[in-house]
Amino acid sequence: MKKTLFILFLLVFSCNLFAITDQEIQDKEATYRENCLKVAQRYPTPEYYYSKNPDGTYFIYDSQPELAIGMHGMDEIGANQMNQAGIKFIRKTMYWSMMEDNKGAYTAEWHWHEKLCRDYNLVPVAVVHGAPLKFNFDNRKEAYKAFGDYMAWAAGEFKEIRYWQLWNEMDYLFTDIFGAKKVSIDEIGKNYVEMLKIAYPKIKKANPDAIVVLGPPIFPEFIQAVYKAGGKNYFDIASMHSYSTPTKWEFVRKGLMARFYMNKFGDANKPLWNTEFGTEAGKYYATYGKVPDVDPLAYFDRMQRDEIAECVNINNILGLYNKAFIYQYIGDPEAYVNEISERVTFKDGDNMQNYGFSIIKQDRSPRPAFQWILDNQPNAKNKPSRKVTVKIGKFTKEVEVHTDYPTRIRLK
């Protein structure tokens, strides 16, 4: 009940947030922090998470909160910067349609990504989406079968990629084959689970070490829809996306809502990831309808740094998300580009591209957000491995867990 009341408080507060001033937001800060601390005290992070595999074994996951980064553009420079920042987990999109259109070259590119991650000791997470044009909502059942076959091939071909996230924001924009913008969120959830029931066992058969991450929704209610449709046993890790201004409000609210639904359906043992959170200049403009009055470009830099840092610090207190991925290492500005460009003065060599979701500039130098990560090393606190006492039913055993990959056990 207390957790539900706190969630409702955040729901109401976040809805009212967009009508208040910067000063009023600052005035609410003490109350916000106090409530976060109350949540941390009442609902401490468990020692471990776990999921059950089709073969009867269990994956035991380390529960230490960890910062990760999404990387559309991935090369040696970026990999080296991840090492410098103490980042291990990186998330990159694999487009199903591109693999169908140019399989040879795209397969070679992804094997190169595998090698790059191996050379720089990074943990790749592949988010797979982008259906070939021949598939749509009307022939969705055919699409689900074809996707299951594709994932069986991909999981077997790219053995060094163990984390597979199936689709992206499919409840909102990206995926016609589940019915986004056409049917209710419950129907979208049913369609998504129909796909999961085909793809999940095929992935596990192709690579028993593979870990299936739920496609990240925009709306937490999608997670409830997945459970209502019988999807509980067809993913290993739940996920969420969160965007708002200030970023922290949706970061916390959506995480709590996702956890609420996981608990409601008896699935609290699984990890929850946030695979996209971040901010850009356009988010500020969307909320306040203006650019800052003083030195707006420096303000956008500071805003991104402060909001990302606050989410990281909050997550380290709450342990709400097992992994939280910043969007994005390199990410274009997406909103109000013309409106902002017309109201600011860029210095020579600077442009609007440097004020999007990217945490680095076009010349690869750090923006303040990435510099904060370099300076503070938020993952340095984590132990790479540690022993925990696992209790599942009548089974009790001390198990060594690791931050990178889960430990497989069999209950005896």
Q: Distance between CA 333 and CA 304 in Å, rounded?
A: 13
Compute and round to an integer the Cα radius of gyration of the chain. 21
H/E segment holding residue 16? helix 2-17
323-326 and 163-166 beta bridge pairing: unpaired
For 225, the token pair is: 């829809």
Name which of 245, 225, 156, 144 is nearest 184 in CA terms. 225
**What's the rounded Cα separation, in Å, for the pair 355 and 352?**
5
pLDDT for residue 10? 47
pLDDT in tens, the chain (412 residues): 444 444 444 444 444 433 445 566 566 666 766 776 666 566 678 999 999 999 999 999 999 999 999 998 889 999 999 999 999 999 999 999 999 999 999 999 999 999 999 999 999 999 999 999 999 999 999 999 999 999 999 999 999 999 999 999 999 887 899 999 899 999 999 999 999 999 999 999 999 999 999 999 999 999 999 999 999 999 999 999 999 888 988 999 899 899 999 999 999 999 999 999 999 999 999 989 999 999 999 999 999 999 999 999 999 988 999 999 999 999 999 999 999 999 999 999 999 999 999 999 999 999 999 999 999 999 999 999 999 999 999 999 999 999 999 999 999 8
Give the pLDDT score at 42: 62
- Helices (H) and strands (E) counted in the chain, each on its own, are 14, 13
* Lookup: tokens for 230: 């019988």
- CA–CA–CA angle 14, 17, 19 (5° rounding): 140
Q: Where are the domains positioned within the chain?
A: 47-383
pLDDT reported for residue 38: 67
Nearest alpha-carbon partner for 66 in 326, 382, 311, 369: 382
Q: pTM for this structure?
A: 0.92
Q: Which one is the CATH code of 47-383: 3.30.1330.50, 2.60.40.1220, 3.20.20.80, 1.10.357.10? A: 3.20.20.80
Q: Give the separation between CA 310 and CA 295, rounded to whole angstroms.
A: 22
Q: How far apart are CA 337 and CA 113, in angstroms?
A: 32
